Copies of this chain bind each other. A is one copy, B any other.
Amino acid sequence: MATATALLAGLEGVGRDSSGGYTRLAWDGPTLELREWFAAEAIRRGLELVEDGNGNQLAWWGSGTDALLVGSHLDSVRGGGAFDGPLGVVSALAAIDALRAEGFAPSRPVAVANFSDEEGARFGVACLGSRLATGVLAPQHALGLRDDDGTTLAEAMAAQGRDPGAAGPSAWLERVGAFVELHVEQGRWLADGDAAVGVASAIWPHGRYRLDLSGQGNHAGTTAMADRHDPMLTYAAAVMAAAAAAQEADQRATFGRVLVQPGNTNAIPAQVTAWLDARADSEVALERLVERILADTRAAAAVNGTSADLTAESVSPAVAFDAVLRDRLAGLLEAPVLPTGAGHDAGILAGHVPTAMLFVRNPTGISHSPLEYAEDADVEAGAVALARVIRELA
């Protein structure tokens, strides 16, 4: 029997990067090591380990249908924190250990999931494993996604001995009756409200959009400012427009990734490609937000003599978690109910089975950063809460 904090401490060395945080990308070294770790933890507990054609790992306690699924993911963004993902996996394993130690015998199967590529940090689409398993994303589209080195998902899977032809809807989904994902909170809602654990109400709709800005590469020293077609100027205008539009309406718009061609210090760029992450409290509001950012960017493009095209790479609708399950868990745990702007595998599963999320307090409120944090006591409180949920539901 292991505590959640002890299990988490065992992962400290895997994928640590120069940021002081973690870089655990799908089908890459540290994440492969974590998959082996998950398999070993499942086998050690006598859980039946099944990997589907999308790389999702499920460890089964009991067999049959109408299972209660718990768990989360083990991958991270580049330079991410230690909790986003792993906390939900270790808490599920620790909860099972605690329930078994008490002699609890579930009346329905319980399975622990490690979903593949939740962050989308390598291939650009978040929740890749759960989207494929639920049929939300077509495998032919997913398998052709490329990472920054040009490697496709199909190639990355094949390089690890997986058959890309097996990607797609997973049989286990038919066996699952409910899903509960525990996750570190990615804001200060619980910290400000002085609660260790909360229950999610909804996930904001969320889109990732690629902004392609084409201009005219030229010499930085000999080209007069008036003669330029500099896409970097249009990019700067897009960044400003996104921040202004989101701030005004209490929504979110972020440019966290930008590529410049050719990327010489002494050359006006020919091309700037950037990614806009936008979220709002309704789908209509999200559409309006993105339209306004694009309109402002196009106005700047006209002035700068560049093009500006926006392509939606993924748009996730609003997710309202199952109200009955949410209220039952909030009552059971006497926990507050809070919304989130972050996407999760639970948001994908919610379209198919009754789904709930538990959040664990993060005193920094910071996530996707080495400063993401949870106190040991709160980690344990989360695992205890998850054990209570399993006892209640299974």
Among all A-B residue pairs, the 3 with the closest Cβ atoms:
A79-B262, A221-B341, A236-B239
- Shortest A28–chain B CB gap in Å is 15
CB < 8 Å: which of B79, B121, B222, B252 contacts A341? Answer: B222
On A, residues with C-beta under 8 Å from B are: 19, 21, 23, 77-80, 119-121, 124, 126, 185-187, 204, 206, 208, 216-227, 230, 232-233, 235-237, 239-240, 243, 246-247, 250-258, 260-270, 275, 277, 279, 340-343, 365-371
Is there an interface contact between B221 and A342, defined as CB atoms closer than 8 Å? yes
CB < 8 Å: which of B19, B185, B264, B365 contacts A256? Answer: B264
Is there an interface contact between B257 and A222, defined as CB atoms closer than 8 Å? no
Is there an interface contact between B121 and A264, defined as CB atoms closer than 8 Å? yes
- Shortest A137–chain B CB gap in Å is 17
CA distance A23 to B371 in the complex (A): 39
CA distance A78 to B340 in the complex (A): 43
CA distance A227 to B247 in the complex (A): 10
Is there an interface contact between B19 and A261, defined as CB atoms closer than 8 Å? yes
CA distance A219 to B227 in the complex (A): 39
- B contact residues around A221 at 8 Å (CB): 186, 204, 206, 252, 277, 279, 340-343
- Shortest A305–chain B CB gap in Å is 13
Add 19 more A-B contacts to A186-B223, A236-B239, A237-B240 (CB < 8 A).
A21-B262, A77-B266, A77-B267, A78-B262, A80-B267, A204-B221, A208-B265, A217-B366, A217-B371, A221-B252, A222-B365, A222-B367, A223-B366, A225-B251, A225-B252, A232-B254, A232-B258, A240-B240, A256-B267
| A219-B367, A267-B368 given; A236·B240 CB < 8 A | yes
Number of copies: 2
CB < 8 Å: which of B206, B236, B247 contacts A226? Answer: B247
**Most chain B CB atoms below 10 A, which of A250, A269, A343:** A269
Q: List 18 A-B contacts (CB under 8 A).
A: A78-B262, A78-B264, A120-B266, A124-B265, A185-B222, A186-B223, A187-B219, A216-B369, A216-B371, A218-B367, A220-B368, A221-B277, A221-B343, A225-B251, A232-B256, A235-B236, A256-B260, A262-B368
Chain B, Cβ-Cβ closest to A263 = B257
- B contact residues around A265 at 8 Å (CB): 120-121, 124, 208, 256-257, 275, 277
**Most chain B CB atoms below 10 A, which of A80, A124, A343:** A80
- B contact residues around A218 at 8 Å (CB): 366-369
Is there an interface contact between B258 and A187, defined as CB atoms closer than 8 Å? no
Is there an interface contact between B243 and A230, defined as CB atoms closer than 8 Å? yes
Chain B, Cβ-Cβ closest to A217 = B369
- B contact residues around A266 at 8 Å (CB): 77, 119-120, 126, 208, 254, 256, 277, 368
